[in-house]
Amino acid sequence: MGENLTTGKINWKLVDENGNEHVHKGASAFGSRRKRIVDIATVTDVSEARKLLVLGWEYKASYPATIANVPHYVLVKRE
């Protein structure tokens, strides 16, 4: 693209093999942005995990995290 004369910085534009400007998929739609994670919860009780799911939390993973192999459920809340 060239050099910006006021800042002295060089601006670049990505082009594909046909010379067209490269555009990321979904970049033009603002609604397609991912929601930001605002909170993380780890619970050991299945009923507590279900309560969080009803409240809008999202299930991420479960794993045995203790010596007694009590499963921990990882949930996240998005903005």
Q: Quick one: pLDDT at residue 55?
A: 94
What was the pLDDT predicted at 29?
52
Q: Where are the beta strands (DSSP E) in the chain?
A: 2-3, 10-11, 37-43, 58-64, 71-78
- pLDDT tens, N- to C-terminus, the chain (79 residues): 667 778 878 777 777 778 788 776 665 555 556 778 888 898 888 899 999 999 999 998 887 766 777 778 888 998 8
**Which pLDDT belongs to residue 50?**
93
- The stretches of the chain forming alpha helices (DSSP H) are 46-54
Find all residues with CB under 8 Å of 71, minimum gap 6, and list them. 44, 62, 63, 64, 65
Instruction: Please tell me the predicted confidence (pLDDT) of residue 31.
Output: 53
Q: pTM for the full model?
A: 0.51
